[in-house]
């Protein structure tokens, strides 16, 4: 009877997807992170599950499993991987793709669009950008709470500016959005609290070292994007180091 009730609930929640339970907080992973039939490539080292959430709404019709994984180095955040994943989400009428509004948005520094391909049956996009950390949202989502709690306790643990590779993939089987957040302060760059116009990560104000760093991350992103695509279809591949 319980199993029948669960199946009935899944049918009733078809628009939201019937997601598997997220992995336990505190668990560690190396190489890849498996989630709902997908495999997310991880850079070298140990990655810890910092937060999870099931059935997080990203629109009126789409609910996802959200995961935040972090890796520390010398007491500060080295990198973060944020994952949103959902199984098949047929909308009433024509199938639509929520990623068109997320992973390929532009507006930060150093926007480099690596892929932007969409159709009624699927979507593949990737972009590298530099973004500034914002204030804690009033409702960050359950999977982000532990991250913001630690950032509030330890203000210099997480970077003020970070480089972010966002990859979004979708087809009629579901979708995934993977964001790799890379801390430049863990790579020797100074913390810069200036506003955008005078910030050292503004493309017009970057040092040669910063420009070279962006070039390296661009090549890294070009390597990782197809790896995420392979993992979307079930292959298990590890990402190279940042």
Nearest to 175 by CA among 6, 11, 19, 43: 19
Give me the percent of the chain exceeding a pLDDT of 70.
75
pLDDT, tens digit, for every residue of 100-154?
Answer: 444 465 546 767 777 666 665 677 888 899 989 989 999 888 999 999 999 999 9
CA-angle at 109, arms to 186 and 241, nearest 5°: 35
**pTM, full prediction:** 0.85
- Tokens 């590779």 — which residue? 165
Question: Does the pLDDT value for residue 99 go beyond 50?
Answer: no
80 vs 126, higher pLDDT: 80
């Amino acid at each position: 009877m319980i199993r029948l009730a669960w199946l009935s609930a899944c049918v009733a929640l078809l628009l939201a997807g019937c997601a598997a339970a997220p992995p336990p907080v505190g668990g560690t992973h190396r190489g890849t992170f498996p989630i709902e039939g997908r495999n997310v490539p991880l850079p070298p080292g140990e990655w810890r599950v910092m937060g999870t959430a099931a059935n997080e709404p990203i629109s009126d019709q789409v609910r996802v499993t959200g995961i935040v994984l972090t890796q520390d180095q010398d007491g500060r955040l080295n990198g973060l991987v944020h994952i949103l994943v959902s199984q098949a989400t047929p909308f009433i009428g024509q199938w639509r793709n929520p990623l068109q509004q997320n992973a390929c948005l532009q507006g930060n520094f150093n926007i480099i669009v690596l892929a932007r391909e969409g159709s009624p049956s699927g979507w593949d996009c990737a972009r590298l950008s530099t973004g500034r950390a914002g204030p804690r949202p009033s409702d960050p989502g359950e999977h982000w709470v532990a991250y913001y709690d630690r950032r509030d306790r330890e203000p210099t643990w997480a970077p003020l500016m970070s480089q972010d590779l966002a990859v979004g993939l979708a087809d009629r089987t579901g979708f995934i959005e993977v964001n790799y957040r890379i801390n430049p302060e863990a790579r020797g760059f100074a913390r810069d609290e200036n506003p955008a116009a005078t910030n050292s990560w503004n493309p017009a104000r970057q040092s040669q070292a910063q420009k070279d760093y962006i070039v390296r991350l661009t090549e890294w992103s070009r390597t990782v994007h197809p790896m995420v695509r392979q993992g979307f279809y079930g292959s298990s591949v590890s990402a190279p180091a940042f």
